[in-house]
Each structure stands twice: as C-alpha cells, then as structure tokens.
Amino acid sequence: MTAGLSKLQSDAARNIVTKYLKVRAGENAVIESWDHTMPMATAMVDEIRRVGGKTLHIHEDEEAWWRAIDRKQSRLLGRASAPEWAALKAADVYVHFWGPGDTDRIEKMPERTFDEAVAWSSPWYQTARKSGLRGGRVAIGFATEGRAKQWGLDRAQWEESILRAWLTDPVKTAKSAARLYEALSRGKKIRISHSNGTDLEVALAGIVPRLHDGTPHPRDKRYGPNDMLAQIPGGRIDVALDSKIAEGRIHANRRTNIWWYWSDGGKLEFADGRLTSYSFDHGGEEFARRYKNGTAGRDRTGSLAFGLNPAAKDVPNLESVELGCVSLVVGRNRHLNGTNGSNFMNWITLADAEIAIDGTPVIRDGRLL
C-alpha cells in the first residue's frame, strides 16, 4: 500500500491497471485528473509504474478552469494544447477522471458555455481511434461534495462504494452474463414489470448486443467508434430496440445521471410505440427542455441496458451497471447500429424488476436467472 492511500484505493487502482486495462511493461500511459480526484490519480500512477509502465500525469486545476470560464474563455478551454495532442498520439493507455468537481456551479452554467468548454471531445476521439489507444473514464470523479450534500450522502462512503465496484473481475462479469446475452441475441419481445406499477413491453431490433465489462475495445468492429475508452467500473449489456414497438409504463426507482444533469422518480408511458407522457420528481424541466429540442425519434424507445456489477448496489452514478437493474433509453440508438438517429437521448433506471424475454424470466429481484 502506498503511503497516504488506503488499501482499498491501492487495490482498486491495481485491479483497473492489471485486469481492465492490462497495462504492460514499457507502455506509455496518460492520466488526466482534477483536484478532487488527485488521490486516485496518484494511485493509478503508482500501479502503472508497478507493472513497468511509463506515466504522464496531467492535472487540471479547478479554480484556474473556473477563472477561464469567468473570463468567457470557454472556447479556449475547448481546444486542447499541442503538447496534449502529441501526448495522446504517443500514448498506449489513457485514464480519465471526470471533472470539474463543482457540480453546483456546473448546473448553473449555460449549456452553450459548457458545450464550448468540452468541444475537444470529438477531435479527441478521432485522434484516439487513429492511434489505437485503449483506456477508461473513471466514475469516481462524479462523487463530489456538492452532489453528496444534495443527496444526503457521506462522500467518503460514496467513494468507498465506487471503489468496491472497481474490484470486480471483468472475466467473471462476462461469464455471469452469458445466458442473458444469448437470450438478448435471439429474443423478440421483452416485458418489464414491477410492483411499483411498471408494466412495459418492448421489442428487440435483432441487433447483436454489446457487453461492456469494463475493458476497452480499440479497433473492435463489434463495438462503437468510442469504445476504446471503457466506463469504469463496468458491468452492462446494451441492446438496441425496435423503435416502433412499445406499450405500457415504466417507473424509475433509481436516480439517472447524464453527465452532470440528474433526474429522479421518472415515469414514462408509451402507446402504439410512442412516448405519450412523462413526469419526474426531480429533473423534469431539463428533460422537457431537451425533449422539446429533440429531432424525429425523440418519442421512440432506443435501447435497454442491463446491469451486471454485483458490488454496485444503489450507488449514485453506477445505476446502469448495478446487478439486475434495467435502464430504458428513449431516443437515439444509432450508436448501437439501430435506426433511431434522433439528437435526443435520455434514460431512466429500474431496480429489482422482473424481466422476461419471449415469456421466459431472465431477471428477478435483482438476480440473473
């Protein structure tokens, strides 16, 4: 264990380096972090060096970033520097910790300003694809002091829960999902039901599902163009839906986190394949705003995500990977080779439901059957 780091922090970082990213001696790794994620970023540096990898740690100072925003330099922030592009092209491995950490302030930012500040994203992925980079975006960056206060959480305990979810083995995750993956590959209709009033029937699009076990998939044609970066911790199967078929209702019992925007208590109702009504206990205004600006397909189902991670039990920001959870995506599914190309994409998550494929139960009470 490294001085200043807990055993859990060191073990979690080691698991990512050895089992998820599989860093080898002599490889070049870039770690990018913010103030609030520095402890785990340094743990990652230690573990990459432990296996003989070479590291470059890029630190974004939170206050300096916000000062640039105050100076109306969001466009400047959205253009990475030449040295950073050079490092990206030379790297084998990349680890990104989400930031900035002032979630209260992010919520108040104009959307245009935020989009300008992260405009580096598209060219970043283009460069990463060309270089064959593999890496991960690490969810612990979302465990901020502001969010903990909003949700009445102890931030230290929240971070510990996320780290424990990092300790899962991607090989075991894939094996545990084999039966569900096969059923989704061959199935036609899915029924989701729960005692909270959920009773929804949707149809699969006949497209091969994608298993996201936490390992990156660079240059793998079975995956999307951005899957050289895995979401860590992993544990999820995504599958595209037939956007023309949906009947019934689904009520969320987990929060939904989309970047820094979040919602709670979502209720969606469908008839004849279309979204006919929606309501939220929190976040409804943002959903409505995005929905209003959505293009064709915004009122159609896009995909389902099934959680596989047994250590992610009701952990904020890990809802979609929690074992037994199902997340319904409304809108775009083109990234899964579906036909829905809407610019709108939102989802809600339900835990402890019963899920049947063509009449055969595959999930019940948070367990894979």
Report angle CA 72, 104, 256 to the nearest 5 degrees. Answer: 115
Contact by Cβ (8 Å): 46, 2: yes
Q: Structure pTM?
A: 0.94
> For the residues 135-145, what does the mean pLDDT come to?
93
pLDDT grade for 110, boundaries at 50, 70 and 90: very high
Burial of 228 (0-12, 13-18, 19+ CB in 10 A): buried
For residue 248, pLDDT over 90 is answered with yes
Q: What percent of the chain has pLDDT over 70?
A: 99
Encode pLDDT of 168-189 as tens digits. 999 999 999 999 999 999 999 9
For residue 65, pLDDT over 90 is answered with yes
Encode pLDDT of 311-327 as tens digits. 999 999 999 999 999 99
> For the residues 21-35, what does the mean pLDDT come to?
97
For residue 1, pLDDT over 70 is answered with no
For residue 3, pLDDT over 70 is answered with no
> For the residues 54-74, what does the mean pLDDT come to?
97
For residue 252, pLDDT over 70 is answered with yes
For residue 288, pLDDT over 70 is answered with yes
Predicted local confidence at residue 282, as pLDDT: 94
Backbone angles phi, psi at 220, to 5 degrees: -100, 110
> For the residues 346-352, what does the mean pLDDT come to?
96
Predicted local confidence at residue 312, as pLDDT: 95
| 7-167 has CATH 3.40.1830.10 classification | yes
> For the residues 55-67, what does the mean pLDDT come to?
97
Predicted local confidence at residue 215, as pLDDT: 95
SS3 162: helix
Pick 1 or 139 by higher pLDDT.
139
pLDDT grade for 141, boundaries at 50, 70 and 90: very high
Predicted local confidence at residue 258, as pLDDT: 80
Report angle CA 165, 250, 206 to the nearest 5 degrees. Answer: 80
Predicted local confidence at residue 105, as pLDDT: 93
> For the residues 224-241, what does the mean pLDDT come to?
94
> For the residues 237-262, what does the mean pLDDT come to?
93
- Computed over every residue of the chain, the mean pLDDT equals 95
Predicted local confidence at residue 245, as pLDDT: 97
Candidates 249, 332, 264, 265; CA nearest to 298 is: 332
CA–CA gap between residue 86 and residue 93 (Å, rounded): 14
> For the residues 229-255, what does the mean pLDDT come to?
96
Count, residues in the chain = 369
> For the residues 123-135, what does the mean pLDDT come to?
93
Residue-wise burial string across 27-54, b where 16 or more C-beta atoms lie within 10 A, e elsewhere: bbbbbbbbbbbebbbbbbbbbbeebebe
Predicted local confidence at residue 259, as pLDDT: 72
CA–CA gap between residue 28 and residue 48 (Å, rounded): 9
Q: Indicate the domain borders of the chain.
A: 7-167, 171-212+234-368
